[in-house]
Structure 1
Amino acid sequence: MYLEMMLLTDGRFQVEGKYTSAQAGLEHLARSKVDVVFLDMDMPEMNGLEAGEQIQQLNSDIRIVYITAYSEYAIEAFEIHALDYVLKPIDPDRLAKTLNYIERSIPVREVNSFGNWRVRCFGHLSFDDGAGNDRQLKWKTAKAQELFAYLLHHRERWIAKEILLETLWPDYPKDKALTYLHTTVSQIRKLVKEWQGQISVEYALDSYRLVLDGILYDVSEFERATDREPAITGQNRLFYENILALYRGDYLEEYDYPWTETLKSNLLERYLNFVLRVAAYEIEHGFERKALERLHFAEKKAPYSEEICRLLLTTYARQGEYASLNRHYEAFVKLLHADLGIEPSQETIRIYNQCKKMTSP
């Protein structure tokens, strides 16, 4: 979505959700704290004006910005206290003014002093202060770190106490495991107290959840950006480079948490698909060195990937690096032989022969 990409590129605001159904959006607002809603005038179920009225009834502090192709609704929109009214197609300069309005409209008491902070789970669990500096929390026990990571893994969903006991303390009697759970939750709450409620562990109906209020989460950012597959262009290339830079390693790869495996595999697959698309653009548009760095990092994650191998061969050929081309192909053939007992596909052989012709001295 073009609007979401511009918001993420601007960097001042965190996208909490996006919906094509007004009802689904209203349900999200009923259970989550949100400062601003960008609302289309033309939606199924109800129009934007009706949705705006319901949003105001839910929480009159929510700022509404209408994004629409119809200028004739502007007066009615401002009658329900819309903050702004932006016509499609969205002009980046016009949107920048809107974002400035939003920033100025948020009272000082609401400004998030940790707004640039990010919880990182790619590679290892850490906290980024917004200036690129990683901070490791001093967990009192390994279980405190795992419980925090497990609750974070479930993205603010309530997790029943019984599931936590079975997952983290499966070999202990229930009464002892329950004591450990209460102690561990207390340790986490003390550790995150400095975030002034912006990171909190909540309890209700025999269930727990971890809430991040205005603090970024690298996995969510990465997933939102890779949910869609727009063409890579000169205008959005930097945005996608920043998204790929979030992937500093596999999801929680430094810890032996069995419950991470499904999401870890999913995120790696997303990353590899995304790398191939960005690298293909870079090769085509003269950024071969960047593509090589990106592909070599990806190759460590997927050493048997023929798609990565083919792009590396193409990059070497474009740069006229005959020796590197042959060395890489021979090493790849040897690896497939030794580890999998197979030959490269006919497509990979064809690309190699084609690249050899391009670089033959």
Structure 2
Amino acid sequence: MYLEMMLLTDGRFRIEGKYTSAQAGLGHLAVSRVDVVFLDMDMPEMNGLEAGEHIQQLNSDIRIVYITAYSDYAIEAFEIHALDYVLKPIDPDRLAKTLHYIERSIPVREVKSFGNWRVRCFGHLSFDGSVGNERQLKWKTAKARELFAYLLHHRERWISKDILLETLWPDYPKDKALTYLHTTVSQIRKLVKEWQGQISVEYALDSYRLVLDGILCDVSEFEQATDKESAITEQNRLFYENIIALYRGDYLEGYDYPWAETLRSNLQERYLNFVIRIAAYDMEHGCERKALERLHFAQQKAPYSEEICRLVLTSYAQLGDYASLNRHYEAFVKLLHTDLGIEPSQETISIYNQYV
């Protein structure tokens, strides 16, 4: 899962599957076209060298990268044409070299023209490329944008025509709503035509779905990275900073879509919890100013959070900036009193008194 997160953050490659069973992985390779396999050496059913031989028999064009804690097998690995051999724990800089090798080894015809694009749902809906060029799509109507966002929201799941009509055109007669749906789908298909099939709206059995083939989605990346609360270390800190950077605003911020509210709240909560964790790590390692920058941005999203307030106070105390500490605390007390008619908790008051 850690390797998957690093690959998704890099953005050049698409994950076709991941398995803890060598047999299941070989079954996938037997029916799917895959360019690269990252393979462990120590596995229960067969070791990595045996699995590598099976992979070569299935398709000799598949590149194999061994990732293992054991260096003893390196020579044998390269004898079966392994592309690279990376030792655990994985160093991000070392993995970057491996990914460069992979990219050079894949023929140009296999690289998709829009493979480095990402659809952004944090903040305003947009697309951006690997070189930072962002594009706002020119939606013909607001409903075209909402339908695209709604299908994207459901991550390639089929959505029945009736649900689409009830959600997006609830106040129209069914025949008129159907006309609007067909027109809007047509508008979306014309708009994404330049992506050469990598973005498509599919129809089957009175249902629609949006398919992204090789195009990343910032929300999916963020969710996968935050599903498991692994400890923040110096080795993975950069990865987690990149994950935090994905959150450029709330989910579909600025669009009044009732169906997005639940996920919006969930993602914001994940983000705030993650910021608190990485800010605490920064403070433990002498990076209080970096922690403050993260915390001030997070507090704009959760202005009444006492946990964030306490971390801000602690950061100022560690820096010896007691004037800023006092200003922040007084502003927080005033905000709680004015907006909510309450006082800070005893824990927050005690921490403030301790510092001053």
TM category, shorter: 0.7 to 0.9
Whole-Å separation in 2 of the counterparts to 1:159 and 1:23? 34
Partner of 1:277: 277
| Native 8 Å contact 2:127 2:134 kept in 1 | yes
* Alpha-carbon separation, structure 2, partners of 1:320 and 1:258: 45
Q: What one-letter code is carried by the residue in structure 1 that aligns with 2:287?
A: F
Secondary structure of residue in 2 paired with 1:38: strand
Structure 2: distance between partners of 1:204 and 1:50: 38
Q: Which whole-Å CA distance do the structure 1 matches of 2:268 and 2:53 have between them?
A: 39
Query: SS state of the match for residue 170, structure 2?
Result: coil
Distance 1:289 1:134 in 2: 29
Pair 133,110 (structure 1): closer, same or farther in 2 beyond 3 Å: same
Q: Aligned pair in 2 of structure 1 residues 18, 263: CA closer, same or farther (>3 Å)?
A: farther
Q: Which amino acid aligns with 1:348?
A: T
CA distance in 2, matches of 1:60, 1:166: 51
Could you tell me which residue of structure 2 aligns to residue 223 of structure 1? 223
Q: Does 1:262 align with 2:254?
A: no
TM-score, normalization by structure 1: 0.84
Provide the residue aligned with 2:326 in structure 1: 326
User: Displacement, 1:78?
Assistant: 7.2
SS in 1 for 2:197: coil
Q: Which structure's relative contact order is higher, taking Cα pairs within 8 Å and 6+ residues apart?
A: 2
Seen in structure 2, the aligned counterparts of structure 1 residues 86 and 325 have a Cα distance that, compared at 3 Å, is closer
Q: CA deviation at 1:110?
A: 1.8
Which segment drifts farther, 171-180 or 22-31?
22-31
Deviations 1:106-159 (A, max 9, x none): 221221222322110101101113233321111011111011111111112222
- Superposition pairs of residues 305-324 of structure 1, within 5 angstroms: 305-324=305-324
Deviations 1:35-85, CA, capped at 9 Å, x for gaps = 43323355567876569858986x886544443456669869976x86555
Which sections of structure 2, spanning at least 5 residues, go unmatched?
none
Bigger shift: residues 318-327 or 140-149: 318-327
Partner Cα separation in structure 2 for residue 285 and residue 174 of structure 1: 61
CA 1:54–1:202 in structure 2 vs 1: closer, same or farther (change >3 Å)?
farther
Q: Aligned residues: percent identity?
A: 84
1:125 aligns with 2:88: no
User: How far apart, in 2, do the equivalents of 1:120 and 1:157 lie?
Assistant: 19
Q: 5 Å matches for 1:143-292?
A: 143-292=143-292
The amino acid across from 2:142 in the alignment is: A
Secondary structure of the structure 2 residue equivalent to 1:67: strand
Aligned counterpart, 1:109:
109
> Shift in Å at residue 93 of structure 1?
6.3
Structure 1: gaps (5+ residues): 357-361
Distance 1:272 1:23, change over 3 A: farther
**Alpha-carbon spacing, 1:23–1:312, altered in 2? closer, same or farther (3 Å):** farther
Aligned counterpart, 1:343: 343
